[in-house]
């Protein structure tokens, strides 16, 4: 207990003193995760919207597969991306393994199904409501998708935040493809795992506290979004 107390004190000292290593790890974490979520949105939003509005053979299968991918364990995603990027893999020539880029790819793979599946759900519901109106206005396919995406903006932001939370918290995928190399691919979760296993609790605790704060921030954002949407009757 004595040790824990000291560790906590040290952890707070690290945070308050903006310890260089701590800040670097947090910075890399945020860079990797935000990049991944942005890529996942760029892919997942149009994919989800297309699945919601389009009618084509195999649509049902794609929807089921994407829903299944939503719950994929991060280590499995890490393994799959590892196989792709390893020197024997199809993308081995790019030599991306153990780089932040590999981590971004892995997290994007992890988050894209979440964004796509939630987008599909939200846009499909909205399409049911808007379909006749937009058709009566002679809206083009592209115009319809743009209208639906914009009008679902609050729900879609919620989906993006959900993806952000999942990416920020996961450890399996970034550990496998990043390798947890100090100053190169060490992010918050992998650092916590390593430091804890070494018995060096101060840095682990400091990062843990930051992670909890970020999680609270994300959930506060979610709640705020929901409140705003309800107030404007945009929910």
Partner 1 sequence: MPDGAVMPLCEPCHPQPNTPPAVVLDNLVLERGGKRLIDGLSMTVPAQGVTAVMGPNGAGKSLALRLIAGLIAPSAGRLECMAGEETRRRIAFVFQKPVLLRRSVRANLDHALRTYGTPRRERAERLAELLALGQLTELAERPARVLSGGEQQRVAMVRALAAAPKVLLLDEPTASLDPQATAAIEALIRRAVDDGVSIVLVTHEAGQAQRLADNVCFLHQGRLREAAPAAAFFHSPSSVEARAYLAGELLI
**CA torsion, ordered 136, 142, 148, 151, to nearest 10 deg:** -100
Residue 234 interacts with partner 1 (CB under 8 A): yes or no: yes
73/143 with CB nearer partner 1: 143
Count of positions on this chain that bind partner 1 (CB under 8 A): 17
Query: Quick one: which of 132, 183, 197, 199 contacts partner 1 (CB under 8 A)?
Result: 132
Tokens representing residue 53 in the block: 């509005």
Question: Is the separation of the CB atoms in 178 and 187 below 8 Å?
Answer: yes
Report in angstroms how near the CB of residue 125 gets to partner 1 at its nearest: 12
Residue 5 interacts with partner 1 (CB under 8 A): yes or no: no
Name the one range near partner 1 by CB under 8 A: 20-28, 78-86, 130-138, 181-189.
Answer: 130-138
Residue 3 interacts with partner 1 (CB under 8 A): yes or no: no
What's the helix, strand, coil split of the chain in %, to 5?
80, 0, 20
Query: Which residues have CB under 8 Å from 160's CB, separation 6+?
Result: 37, 41, 115
Site for partner 1, residues 65 to 94, rule: CB under 8 A: none
Q: Token match 């430091």: residue?
A: 195
Query: Quick one: which of 151, 157, 166, 226 contacts partner 1 (CB under 8 A)?
Result: 151
Cα separation values, 122 from 38, 42, 95, 196, Å:
19, 16, 38, 40
Query: Quick one: which of 24, 68, 90, 135 contacts partner 1 (CB under 8 A)?
Result: 135
Residue 17 interacts with partner 1 (CB under 8 A): yes or no: no
Question: Is the separation of the CB atoms in 126 and 151 below 8 Å?
Answer: yes
Question: Is the separation of the CB atoms in 160 and 37 below 8 Å?
Answer: yes
Question: Is the separation of the CB atoms in 174 and 109 below 8 Å?
Answer: no
70/229 with CB nearer partner 1: 229
Report in angstroms how near the CB of residue 136 gets to partner 1 at its nearest: 4
Residue 138 interacts with partner 1 (CB under 8 A): yes or no: yes
Report in angstroms how near the CB of residue 137 gets to partner 1 at its nearest: 5
The residue ranges that bind partner 1 (CB under 8 A) are 129-130, 132-139, 143, 147, 150-151, 232-234
């Amino acid at each position: 207990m004595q040790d824990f107390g000291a560790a906590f004190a040290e952890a707070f000292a690290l945070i308050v003193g903006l310890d260089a290593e701590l800040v670097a790890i947090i910075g890399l974490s945020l860079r990797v995760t935000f990049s991944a979520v942005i890529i996942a949105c760029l892919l997942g939003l149009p994919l989800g919207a297309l699945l919601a509005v389009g009618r084509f053979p195999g649509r049902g299968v794609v929807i089921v597969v994407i829903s299944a991918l939503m719950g994929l364990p991060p280590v499995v995603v890490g393994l799959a991306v590892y196989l792709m990027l390893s020197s024997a893999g199809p993308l081995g020539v790019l030599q991306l393994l153990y780089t932040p880029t590999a981590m971004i790819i892995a997290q994007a793979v992890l988050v894209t199904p979440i964004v796509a599946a939630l987008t599909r759900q939200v846009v499909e519901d909205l399409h049911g409501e808007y379909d006749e109106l937009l058709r009566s206005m002679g809206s083009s396919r592209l115009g319809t998708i743009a209208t639906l995406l914009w009008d679902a903006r609050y729900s879609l932001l919620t989906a993006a935040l959900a993806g952000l939370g999942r990416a920020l918290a996961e450890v399996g995928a970034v550990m496998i493809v990043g390798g947890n190399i100090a100053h190169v691919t060490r992010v918050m979760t992998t650092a916590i795992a390593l430091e804890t296993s070494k018995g060096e609790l101060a840095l682990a605790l400091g990062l843990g506290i930051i992670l909890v704060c970020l999680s609270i921030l994300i959930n506060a954002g979610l709640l705020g979004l929901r409140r705003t949407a309800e107030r404007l009757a945009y929910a």
